[in-house]
A = this chain, B = another copy of it.
Amino acid sequence: MTTTSHTSALDAVLSHIDTTLDASVERLFSLLRIPSISTQPSHAADCREAAEWLQADMASMGLTADIREVRWAAPGHPMVVAHDTTQAGKPHVLFYGHYDVQPTDPENLWKAPPFEPRLVEEPSGRKVIVARGASDDKGQVMTFLEACRAWKTVHGSIPVQVSVLLEGEEECGGSNLLPFLQENAAELKADVALVCDTSMADRQTPGITTSLRGMMAEEIIIECASHDLHSGIYGNAAANPIALLCQILASLRDADGRVTLPGFYDGIQDPSPETRAQWKTLFPDDAALLEEAGLSVAAGEKDYTAIEQTWCRPSCEINGISGGYEGEGFKTVLPAKAMAKVSFRLVPGQEPDKIRETFRAHVNAALPADAKVTFTAHGGSPGFEVSRDSRFLAPTLKALTDEWGIPAATIGCGGSIPVAGEVRDALGLDALMVGFAQSDDRIHSPNEQYGLDSFHKGVRSWARIIASLADAG
């Protein structure tokens, strides 16, 4: 097919999507009714039911689809793998999503039962699908499957080679994905991975998340005296581990918000001026990011905007601290030990192991003779970045721009999405993270929702991306 014929072929698909939206929503509702909470053992059978539902659904549209067991770690919820690789010579995409959902507590804050999906009209007139998993990630998974179904129904085939991998342990920190990818690398190898588990750049602007922050975390316990002391008897003369901890933690950033560890910023590249300008359009001022948190002033490095601080700059955060008497009232204890949990969000170019070493050396150098420290490592993953010369990036941006009528943005994400790194490590693929969630979708919280517009235009977006990628081979 030429580009022109693709265009008319696409138009027919989009038209079909529009006219069959109600049926698409009904299918999503069926999936949402299955309480596939992966972290609760009592819902193991529900997880399997969700996997089987998806296997059957993909089989029904003509994909070869299988349930695949995992065996490396508990809880062991199965994978769903499907293929439609009839378009030999065409680009091959591997789509990733997850069918498991978060627990629903506190249950009493839900306005309706979390596994009885409803279409609710907001005061603005916008319609939203309300249910646990509506946005994260069943609704997003179904945007891709409905796009595939539309292509198959209208034209009998999808114009690219498609593989689908849906897992059931994303919400419970499962560790079966990487070994599964490694063991099935030959089968799952494609030209590019498409991940649908992220948000739009803002309410109107579609985006591809092209960078993620990694993380290096440490728990440190500082111990001084052999036992808790009375601050009357020893106060002033005995080393206070809370005070030492505070001094050490306070020394990790300077007055300009920069992390002080030597070499911390080595190897980091700034985003391009174009990208920074695009982000400036999305977030004209720092409050645009911060006001939802009740804040107004960016707390990080002075030379970067709030969104740059979270999307492309590494952080140092104290996530927890504890020591001495924490209860009601006052107790004049001079405690024997104090604890803190510290994490560094890392960006591409930074090496987690090296930063861990630098951090520990910094702490050790700050300790006086009477103090000792114990370190416990938590996490250590590098930042992630889609290679800027990926041939799939531009066609995907173009398809999104066509659908939403606003130039699609390449955006960052301050958190980690492990699958992106694992797909690269196990299969050598770039992962384009395209999602249609909104920041007010309340994922992981009561009354999770997914805009009907997110769903509908999400399906249309994938239909366009498929067409666009078909020509990127």
Inter-chain contacts of A242 with B (CB < 8 A): 249, 318-321, 340
Inter-chain contacts of A416 with B (CB < 8 A): 232
Asked if A247 is an interface residue, CB under 8 A from chain B, the answer is yes
Interface flags for A202-223 (1: CB within 8 Å of B; 0: not) read 0000000000010101010000
Contact B299 A237, beta carbon cutoff 8 Å: yes
Chain A interface residue number, banded = 35 or more
Inter-chain contacts of A301 with B (CB < 8 A): 236
Interface flags for A228-243 (1: CB within 8 Å of B; 0: not) read 0111111111111011
Contact A299 B370, beta carbon cutoff 8 Å: yes
Which residue of B250, B290, B317 is within 8 Å of A247 (Cβ)?
B250
CB distance from A226 to the nearest CB of B (A): 3
Stretch of A82-90, A305-313, A387-395 lying at the B interface:
A305-313
Asked if A406 is an interface residue, CB under 8 A from chain B, the answer is no
Asked if A245 is an interface residue, CB under 8 A from chain B, the answer is yes
Asked if A269 is an interface residue, CB under 8 A from chain B, the answer is no
Contact B300 A236, beta carbon cutoff 8 Å: yes
Which residues does A use to contact B, with CB under 8 Å? 213, 215, 217, 219, 224-227, 229-240, 242-243, 245-247, 249-251, 253, 257, 286, 289-290, 293-301, 306-307, 309-310, 313-315, 317-326, 329-335, 338-341, 343, 345, 368-370, 378-379, 413-416
Inter-chain contacts of A315 with B (CB < 8 A): 231, 235-236
- Provide the bound-state CA to CA distance between A341 and B245, in Å: 15
- Provide the bound-state CA to CA distance between A321 and B323, in Å: 5
Say yes or no: A225-B293 contact (C-beta < 8 A), given A231-B317, A318-B243. yes
- Provide the bound-state CA to CA distance between A250 and B340, in Å: 15
27 inter-chain pairs at a CB distance below 8 angstroms, sorted by A residue, are A213-B232, A224-B295, A225-B295, A226-B293, A232-B415, A234-B293, A236-B310, A236-B414, A237-B289, A237-B290, A237-B298, A237-B309, A239-B295, A239-B297, A242-B320, A245-B246, A250-B250, A317-B332, A317-B334, A319-B325, A319-B331, A320-B331, A321-B326, A322-B326, A326-B339, A326-B341, A330-B343
Say yes or no: A345-B236 contact (C-beta < 8 A), given A246-B318, A318-B242. yes
- Candidate in A236, A293, A295, A326 with the most chain B CB atoms within 10 angstroms: A236
Inter-chain contacts of A225 with B (CB < 8 A): 293-295
Contact A295 B250, beta carbon cutoff 8 Å: no
- Provide the bound-state CA to CA distance between A370 and B318, in Å: 17
Q: Which residue of B lies closest to A377 (CB)?
A: B330
